[in-house]
Amino acid sequence: MNLADLQSFVSRRWDEDIVGRLVDYVKVPAKSPAFDASWAAHGHLEAVIRSAHAWCQAQGIEGMKLEIVSIDGLTPCLLFDVPATQGLGHDRSVLFYGHLDKQPEMVGWREGFGPWTPVIEDGRLYGRGSADDGYAVYSALTVIAALDRQGIARPRCVGLIETCEESGSPDLPAYLEKLVPRLGEVQLVVGLDSGCGNYEQLWVTTSLRGLVGGVLSVEILDEGVHSGMASGIVPSSFRIARHLLSRIEDSKTGRVLLPGLHADIPPERLDQARAAGDILGDSVWQHFPWVGCSHGPEPQAHAMPTTTDPVEAILNRTWRPALSVTGAAGLPMPDAAGNVLRPRTVLKLSMRIPPTLDAQAATLAMREALESDAPYQARVRFQADWGASGWNAPATAGWLERALREASQGAFGRDPAWFGEGGTIPFMNMLGNYFPQAQFLITGVLGPRSNAHGPNEFLDIGYAKKLTTAVASVVAAVR
């Protein structure tokens, strides 16, 4: 392999083609079905998958079969299948994974920026979805094209690009049932929907947390009443909700209190967290957009994290459960809030769970803790909406570890690093069940301040180029 030629080809493809394609992609509000109930009528998911299909078809990759696969009532998938070269055989394959659906808009974008307004600044493309995960299909086909241009022997490459990942991939099991027989004997899964600890080396994701969520509803009255008449007699529905949350979370530390939501951390993952902590140091927590503050007896330059220990911070976000309240109802805006004791409080709960914990068991534990023995005999309901178990990678094979080191050195001039991610990719756990012998390269471009799901999400174009080069080097090592 001519590394310089590979890097040059990948860089040109990104500059002359992919960046422009992603600019157009950002403009489309292709929100995941969980955030757009009328997704089929709006046609945005259909638009982005057809655009990706057209681009893939125009690449002229020899022998590639390309198809938009649809099941009635479900979001569509894009499937590509490229035969092996130089006699490596058709049975064994490398499977690329990505998605084209997006998170909703979110407030707080910088002036002149927006979720559907692509802006390129300082080598970064801002806008919703470019990094999570619109680039994946374009990067994957560029990997194949770059190897074929040099005549490098490579295995059969297949790709599955879905459009409901941000909703928890509820449609994916039906597609896997339909498509797994067509994927071959998968030797390596390349998932391009994860993150990186910095922009200076290849980062390999070793685990993903699971996610369970639902809506907690607390009702104490049939209708709102004058707070001066009722407060002190009628308990506040918000206070009851706060009391219920204290059953599952220590409000002072954020530690989840339910034993059933914790899991043992494997020794190998502890070692990897220590190594990643040594590399990243305080940047593990410093890169978040902390609010500045000057209040309190000891003024701080900014708000502070739960821990400043890099290793503990990594473990907190990768192997320990954590609760977030991500939405609320029954609460008027401050300027519309009268002196009324509200009849109900509704909170949307999101619980990240350890990679090895079963999502169904976690959901049952939360429901039991929240609904049992309701204070004041209030009407309390926890309605789970969906759950996804996490994923813990199998032991890395020797050949893959060597390939990763060579790839990272070649593309970045530094060794790779391994760490867990706090997010959830349901596909990985599903695929591990179908292909237990497969190795995994789960990686991505979501690095410091890239802020996926939030305002000012960006794709670092320079890093994406190097990552594409590194992935090509790994794929060339599969035999």
Show which of 331, 362, 387 is a domain's final residue: 387
Nearest to 450 by CA among 207, 193, 132: 132
Pair (247, 332) in one structural domain: yes
Pair (18, 61) in one structural domain: yes
**What is the DSSP secondary structure assignment for residue 308, as one 8-state letter?**
-
Q: Which two tokens stand for residue 359?
A: 């999502």
Global pTM? 0.90
pLDDT band at 298 (very low <50, low <70, confident <90, very high): low
Q: Which carries the bigger pLDDT value, residue 254 or residue 479?
A: 254
Please work out, in degrees rounded to the nearest 5, the angle formed at the alpha carbon of residue 161 by the alpha carbons of 160 and 164.
125
Query: Strand 203-208 vs strand 417-421: parallel, antiparallel, or unpaired?
Result: parallel
Q: Give the tens place of pLDDT for each residue, 11-35.
A: 999 999 999 999 999 999 999 999 9
Pair (174, 37) in one structural domain: yes
Q: Give the tens place of pLDDT for each residue, 231-275.
A: 999 999 999 999 999 999 999 999 999 999 999 999 999 999 999
Pair (7, 113) in one structural domain: yes
- Taken in order 22, 24, 26, 31, is the CA torsion positive or negative? negative
Largest CA distance in the chain: 83
Q: Which carries the bigger pLDDT value, residue 451 or residue 301?
A: 451
3-state secondary structure of 294: coil
Cis before 133? omega within 30: yes
Instruction: Work out the average pLDDT over 306-323.
Output: 97
- Is 95 in contact with 190 (CB distance < 8 Å)? yes
Give dist(CA 245, CA 60) in Å, integer. Answer: 56
Gyration radius from the chain CA atoms? 24
Pair (58, 148) in one structural domain: yes
- Is 228 in contact with 320 (CB distance < 8 Å)? no
Give dist(CA 129, CA 457) in Å, integer. Answer: 8
Residue 296 domain-assigned (yes or no): no
Pair (191, 255) in one structural domain: no
DSSP letters spanning 388-413: E--EEPPPPPHHHHHHHHHHHHHHHS
Show which of 387, 411, 432 is a domain's final residue: 387
Show which of 336, 362, 387 is a domain's final residue: 387
Range of the domain at 260: 210-266+315-387
What are phi and psi for residue 142, nearest 5 degrees? -70, -35
Pair (102, 32) in one structural domain: yes
Pair (370, 451) in one structural domain: no
pLDDT band at 427 (very low <50, low <70, confident <90, very high): confident
What integer pLDDT is reported at residue 296 of this predicted model? 46
Pair (173, 223) in one structural domain: no
What CATH number is associated with residue 366? 3.30.70.360
Residues in the chain: 479
CA 62 remoteness from chain centre: 32
Instruction: Work out the average pLDDT over 161-177.
Output: 94
- Taken in order 24, 25, 26, 30, is the CA torsion positive or negative? positive
pLDDT band at 293 (very low <50, low <70, confident <90, very high): low
- Is 102 in contact with 31 (CB distance < 8 Å)? yes
Pair (225, 182) in one structural domain: no
Pair (354, 470) in one structural domain: no
Other beta carbons within 10 angstroms of residue 4's beta carbon come to 9
Pair (117, 235) in one structural domain: no
Examine the pLDDT at 299 and tell me if it is beyond 70: no
Q: How many domains does the chain have?
A: 2
- Is 24 in contact with 51 (CB distance < 8 Å)? yes
What CATH number is associated with residue 49? 3.40.630.10
pLDDT band at 300 (very low <50, low <70, confident <90, very high): low
